[in-house]
Amino acid sequence: MWELSLFNNVKEITMKKRVMVFAVSLSVVLSTSLTYGLTYNKYKKEIEFGKKNADLLTAYEDIKNNFYKTIDNETLCEYMVKGVLDACDEDFCVFNTSNMIDENRVNEDSSVSRSGFTVDKNRHDEIVVTEVKPKSRADEMGLKTNDIITMIDGETIAEKGGYYEAIRKLMGKDGTTVKLHIRRDNEELDIDFVRYNVYPDSEKSFYSELMDDDVLYIHFLYFNDSLIDNFKTALNENEYKSIVIDLRNNHGGEVEYATQIFDYFVGDGNKAVAKYERGGKEKVFKTSTDGKELDCNVVVLVNENTISAGELLAAFFKDTGRGKIIGEKTYGKGIFQNTAILDCMLTYTYTAGYLYVNDMPNNDEIGVYPDIEIRMDESKMLTPGDTQLKKAIEILS
């Protein structure tokens, strides 16, 4: 009996231990599963990205760990984002670092762009002249494509603080001079670069003039936050009977402002729609009736460099018949972009969807066709040879 009792006690203790071990094991499993679940939910995007892009992560780890030089994470981030945008294979998808923005600002600055040349950085961090337009000021001063600018005002690029600091020295007041030391093949030479940044009226961001027969001419290059005030001022300060809106070489901008300009000429019932291709979300901009609609004839001038919001405004006039369109078929950009900013303050822009005016089909890669086609070299804008403007004034007169 004693042996049987001892056996039963041992058996009971063993069972309790087994239950305890099982409970502990189950607790560990459940705890691990819960932790994994929480971790997975927290990093779901990262985990799924890793599954879908295993080759990219393999290459990333291999290059980062075995490349003979150290690559910092910010640089890796820049080029990976740039690679994604390059895969979009579209000119409007771009990646901008602060340095890229500085370089664009220099190339677009009037003292550089009006002089007819552009610059870029080569692999040695030197300033290379990437383009010199024939018969431009830069051409006349002796600059040539592929020239290497090694010194500015007697200082090397390194002494100027590096490439991005140095190129800023190319900008300045009209008529001032900067001394450039150039390396051209095996030749060294100096060029006195005289800055030139006077824009003709046709290249000013906003320009208005009261012409013969009380025709108010209004030309602008951008749809931005200053446009509406400038447009309103031009209307208020002139006694006009008709209007020419010149959208030639218009670079586009915000859809909202294009709709607000058209609102001066119509009441409600017209709309511009920015439709996101993924998810079907829409942004709608509508005209309204406020009793201030202008009762005058309108002609709109366009050319092949009328783009984006400029085309949208032309499409408004085309669709409603509110004004005549004269010139050449527009560029054909019926899409819009989103710009986002990363934690490291880098920005990138990508195409998000299509633009529509009223019930018109989208005009991407098609453009807006004029009612009266007149081909003309854009260099003749606002000169005696401006046949497009002459036709507009003839119609309005």
Q: What is the DSSP letter of 330?
A: -
What tens digit of pLDDT does each residue of 51-84 get?
888 898 898 889 888 999 888 887 888 888 888 8
Q: Which residue has the tokens 């507009």?
A: 392
Would you list the domain boundaries of the chain?
2-42, 98-194, 201-396
pLDDT digits (tens, 9 = 90+) for 80-128: 888 889 999 998 998 887 777 777 877 777 778 888 889 998 888 889 9
Looking from the CA of 89 toward its CB, the CA atoms found within 13 Å total 1
Mean pLDDT of 204-222: 96
Cα 79 to Cα 318: distance, rounded to the nearest angstrom: 43
More reliable by pLDDT, 315 or 63: 315
Which of these, 373, 354, 364, lies nearest to 331 by C-alpha position? 364
- Indicate the pLDDT class of residue 3, thresholds 50, 70 and 90: very low
Alpha-carbon separation of residue 75 from 62, 82, 97 (angstroms): 16, 11, 10
Q: How confident is the model at residue 1 (pLDDT cuts 50, 70, 90)?
A: very low
Query: Please, where are the H alpha helices in the chain?
Result: 2-42, 44-52, 54-66, 73-87, 98-108, 110-113, 137-141, 163-167, 227-236, 255-262, 309-320, 387-396
Return the amino acid letter for 245: I
| pLDDT number for residue 301 | 98
> Greater confidence, 30 or 193?
193
Of 273, 275, 285, 254, the C-alpha closest to 352 is 275
Who has greater pLDDT, 291 or 390?
Answer: 390
Q: What is the pLDDT of residues 13-47, one digit of tens each?
A: 555 555 565 555 656 555 666 665 667 677 788 78
Please tell me the predicted confidence (pLDDT) of residue 49. Answer: 83
Residue 261, amino acid: I
In the predicted model, what is the mean pLDDT of residues 332-345? 89
Q: What is the predicted pLDDT for the residue at 390? A: 97
Q: What are phi and psi of 298, to 5 degrees?
A: -135, 140
Q: Which fold has domain 201-396?
A: 2-enoyl-CoA Hydratase; Chain A, domain 1 (3.90.226)
Instruction: Please choose, from the candidates 145, 188, 152, the residue with its C-alpha nearest in 3D space to the C-alpha of residue 171.
Output: 152
What span, in angstroms and rounded, lies between the C-alpha atoms of 34 and 13?
A: 31
pLDDT digits (tens, 9 = 90+) for 137-168: 899 999 999 999 999 999 998 888 888 888 88
The domain defined by 98-194 carries CATH number 1.10.1370.30: no
